[in-house]
Chain A
Amino acid sequence: MLHFILRRLVLIVPVLFGLTALVFAIARLLPGDPVALAAGPNATPAEIAAYGKEFGLDRPLIVQYGAYLSGLMKGDFGVSIYTRRPVIEDLRAYLPATLELVFAAMFLAIAIGIPAGLAAAAWRDKWPDYLSRVVALGSISMPRFFLGLLLQLLFAMWLGWLPLGGRFPITEDPPALVTGFLTLDALIARDFTAFSIACQHLVMPAIAMSLSPLATIMRMMRASTLEVMQQDYVLTERALGLSSRLIMLKYVSRNAISATLTVIGLYFGWLLGGTVLVETIFDWPGLGLYATKAVVTQDFMPVIGVTLVIGTLFVFANFAVDLLYGVINPKVRTE
């Protein structure tokens, strides 16, 4: 097991290295003049050149990349040419918000998707199955930004039950910072008012984010459950007289989940990059909103930083899934 973990960890290094090279190249080889944009509309060519020099952008690209890499080793993600703030500080501020949103969305998707997929398989070709297929295709087809808008229209504007957007109102006292997840921090501080406020802000963006992973997890769970149900041991269990409920819940579900796990891992990374739209709609102060602002101003250091962080998390999420796979499925472990 330890050997397996170490081998996978070593394999991650070239991937991350390639990621930095790729993102750096894409961000810097594209046309467009971010320096002129950042220096302002009234800047003279000399001022623009001086501005570029200040950030070391007059050096050859390969030198800049080397400098960036050596900075990364020390945890330095460069400086925004727009705000002049170190990118690492912004990442530190925005990453927990995005992670909280993604975890909440994943929680919803798993909590609903797995039982729903199991039910669709158990009642195959009956109405629950039919319904699950329509719901799944509908959810995948629903633009997250449109769903977000509909939720806002219904629950915030017409019914007034939930706040329109944001993460935590500045008029309230936030809980003491521990994890960066406001809901968890509030629970740790036993501040239930803050917990309820944080949840109210979290629920709509989380629902908007959860829809397409929910659909995929549900379909995946259905397919793998059907596959497992055809195994000989299920037949044996039936012959032994075990109840269908026991067979489904205890034996089939456990085996079916392991195949679904891979999708969950992939979706985790996909969601991290997919928060952009939902964060824009709900004004959620996370990486997506940060990246959008940076992209519009062609401020590439934040864009590179965000892409790197998300790419790294994606790689590690898949690594974690492989490990979990071994825990759930002993066959993989021994190989």
Chain B
Amino acid sequence: MNAQGSVPESARRYALRRALFRFSQSGLSLVGLALVVTLLMIAVFGPSLAPYPEHLGGAVNTAARFRPPSLAHPFGTNELGQDVFSLVLGGTRVSVLAGLAVVMLGTLIGTVVGAIAGYAGGWTDEILMRISDLKLTVPGLILAMAVAAALGPGILNMVIAIALSWWPGYARLVRGEVMAKKEELFVTAARAIGAGPGRILFRHILPNILTPVIVKMSLDMGFAILTVASLGFIGIGVKPPTPEWGSLLSVARGYMPDYWWTAIFPGLAIFTAVFGFNLLGDGLRDVFDPKARR
């Protein structure tokens, strides 16, 4: 019921309001939300917030190499005299964008495959699912490394490489949901008034299974950022001088332990970003998935 109590609220709005309430009751989820919002803000405005924006383009300052953290350089400077704080801020955009792109692409492929498999059933289902099972047995990181190395450096290539091993999870999820939903009355009703399979699948079934997919996407975002950073750390990823957390950490590894700040801060940035998305995703799952609720 809404505030006046006169007009009955739709069931969907009521469920959403309840979900929002439950979400707001969980301190950890709100911390996650705050972290993610901050992260997105930095991703958008990061380069203009950086105290030394010229360092993001690759400018160096050899006079100020390896300065420890100070007021002028809160995270210190690296082996090229670049401000680590600026690099970490600038790297946020790369990591968030690449993570987002991986999850979106994975979801897109996985949803299409899973929806077709679940709706068609029979042999189509069998073949598509065996392919996705096969993908699950191949070590994802090694596959992504191999694909990224062959395609050459670059954000787009890296995203494609990771997304290739990312979709089977979504395919399984969507297939299961579609199989459950296609027996429902509203699908029969749509079919009765003459809707074709494409229309039934994309206009009637898919909108109804969005929630679990979105929850999985939010849970996966952290892991996608982590994978992007991992490839950067191995040295397959973005091209320098683009600042990327994983590659910053990889370079800094050579200057341990004396210049620890060059490694600690990019590492903490990765951890904080992934932690934020995991808290948020965990909170969303608690709210939307009754089975996983505490």
Q: Which residues of A line the B interface, CB within 8 A?
A: 15, 18-19, 22-23, 26-27, 30-32, 124-125, 133-134, 137-138, 140-143, 145-146, 149-150, 152-153, 157-158, 223, 269-270, 272-274, 276-277, 280-281, 288, 291-292, 295-296, 298, 300, 303, 306-307, 310-311, 314-315
Contact = CB atoms under 8 A, between A and B. Distances in A.
B214 interface: no
Contacts of A315: 137
B138 to A, nearest CB: 6
Interface centre among B130, B233, B246, B260 (most CB of A within 10 A): B233
11 contacts: A27-B146, A138-B275, A143-B267, A146-B267, A150-B267, A274-B139, A274-B141, A277-B230, A295-B146, A295-B236, A307-B139
A138 B271 CA distance: 8
B133 interface: yes
Nearest to A309: B139
Contact of B140 (A141, A273, A306): A273
Contacts of A273: 138-142
A149 B263 CA distance: 9
Given A149-B253, A272-B139, 8 more contacts: A18-B131, A32-B151, A141-B271, A146-B267, A273-B138, A276-B230, A280-B234, A298-B150
B47 to A, nearest CB: 24
A22 B137 CA distance: 11
B94 interface: no
A269 B130 CA distance: 18
B149 A143 contact: no
Nearest to A23: B138
A90 B142 CA distance: 17
B249 A291 contact: no
A22 B168 CA distance: 15
Contact of B143 (A26, A124, A125, A272): A26
A234 B271 CA distance: 40
B271 A146 contact: yes
A272 B137 CA distance: 11
Contacts, number: 135
A157 B133 contact: no
Interface of B: 28, 130-131, 133-135, 137-143, 145-147, 149-152, 222, 226, 229-230, 233-236, 246, 249, 253, 256-257, 260, 263-264, 267, 270-271, 274-275, 278-279, 282, 292, 294
Given A138-B275, A295-B236, A311 B150 contact: no
A296 B267 contact: no
B136 to A, nearest CB: 8
Contact of B141 (A143, A276, A281): A276
B142 A306 contact: yes
Nearest to A146: B267
A174 B263 CA distance: 34
B282 A137 contact: yes
Given A134-B28, A307-B143, A32 B234 contact: no
A323 B138 CA distance: 22
Nearest to B233: A145
Nearest to B139: A273
Nearest to B152: A32
A170 B106 CA distance: 45
Given A146-B249, A149-B267, A269 B137 contact: yes
Contact of A141 (B28, B149, B274): B274
A277 B274 CA distance: 17
A291 B234 CA distance: 12
B95 to A, nearest CB: 11
Interface centre among B145, B146, B236, B246 (most CB of A within 10 A): B146
A30 B279 contact: no
Contacts of B292: 223
Most buried by A among B28, B131, B152, B271: B271
A291 B253 CA distance: 21
A137 B275 contact: yes
B286 to A, nearest CB: 10
Contacts of B146: 26-27, 30, 295, 300, 303
A141 B137 contact: no
Contacts of B135: 22
Contacts of B263: 149, 153
A296 B143 CA distance: 12
A23 B28 CA distance: 41
Contact of A19 (B137, B151, B274): B137
Contacts of A307: 138-139, 142-143
A145 B139 contact: no
A108 B140 CA distance: 23
A156 B121 CA distance: 56
A124 B293 CA distance: 13
Nearest to B164: A26
B237 to A, nearest CB: 12
Contacts of A291: 142, 145
Contact of A15 (B137, B149, B264, B267): B137
B278 A141 contact: yes
A143 B230 contact: yes
A146 B232 CA distance: 13
B28 A158 contact: no
B147 A296 contact: no
A246 B109 CA distance: 49
